[in-house]
Amino acid sequence: MPVFLLSRVVKPTLVIVLWLLPLHSMAETFSDKLVAAALERTEHQVRYDGRYLRIAYPNGDVPADIGVCTDVVIRSYRALGIDLQQLVHEDMRADFDLYPSKRIWGLTKPDSNIDHRRVPNLQTFFSRHGERLAISRQGSAYQPGDLVTWLLPGNLPHIGIVTDKRSTDGKRPLIVHNIGAGPVLADMLFAYKITGHYRFHPASDAQ
C-alpha cells in the first residue's frame, strides 16, 4: 500500500483510539498532582521542629528549613494552590466546638498560627470536608493521594500522604511523611496503629 494511503488509514484510527481512552489517562488527576508534590517534599532538607511560631495569614508558613509531619501535608497541598491554614481556620471559626482544640489544648478560640499544624484538627477537617474512608489492613485499600493518620508510641498523632510507589514486595504503597528526620518516602503504612484514612480533593480542583 502506498505510504500516503497508509497514513490516511492510520491517522483516523489513531484519533478514534485516543478519543476512546479514559480522560484520566490523558490528563493528570488531582491525586497525581498531590503525589508529585509530596514526593517533591522529600528533596528538601527540613529539621524536625514543631514549636509554636507566629506566621502570616493566609498562606503563612514556618521557615522552610523546619517542619513536622503536618507541614508535609500543608506544603504539598499549598503547591497545588490549596491553603489548609485558611481552610481549617475558617472552618474552626464557623464550628469551633466540633474541633478538639478545647478538649486537648484548652483553647477557647481558633488560632491561625497553629491549628492547621495539629493532626487531630486535620482529622476533623478532612472528615468534615473530604472523605473519611475505612481503615484496612490491605495495602490495596490505600490509593495514591490518600491521607493516613497513626498513633505513635507515647500517644503521638502522626500523618502522611500515600504515594503511587510500592514496597519491594508490591503489597503496600509507600508513604511520604516526616517522623523526625525530615520528609522521606518510606514503607511504613502498617508500622503503627492507623487512626484515620481520608481523601481530600477540593471540588474546584479535582478532575
Q: Residue 149 pLDDT > 60, yes or no?
A: yes
pLDDT, residue 207, reads: 40
Task: Confirm whether pTM is higher than 0.95.
Answer: no
Q: What are 32-83's pLDDT values in tens digits?
A: 999 999 999 999 999 999 999 999 999 999 999 999 999 999 999 999 999 9
CA 141 to chain centre: 16
Domain annotation covers residue 121: yes
Pairing of strands 184-186, 147-152: unpaired
**Cα-flanking dihedrals φ and ψ of residue 164, to 5°?**
-90, 5
Name the DSSP class of 135. P
What total of structural domains would you count in the chain? Answer: 1
> Hunting for cell 528526620 — which residue is that?
181
Q: Hey, what amino acid is at 46?
A: V
Residue 71 structural domain: 28-199
Name the DSSP class of 6. H
Q: What are 18-32's pLDDT values in tens digits?
A: 454 554 444 689 999
- Is residue 21 classed exposed, middle or buried when 0-12, 13-18 and 19+ CB atoms within 10 A define those classes? exposed
Per-residue pLDDT band for 4 (boundaries 50, 70, 90) equals: very low
Q: What are 82-137's pLDDT values in tens digits?
A: 999 999 999 999 999 999 999 999 999 999 999 999 999 999 999 999 999 999 99
Per-residue pLDDT band for 14 (boundaries 50, 70, 90) equals: very low
pLDDT, residue 1, reads: 54
pLDDT, residue 8, reads: 52
The CATH number that applies at residue 135 is: 3.90.1720.10
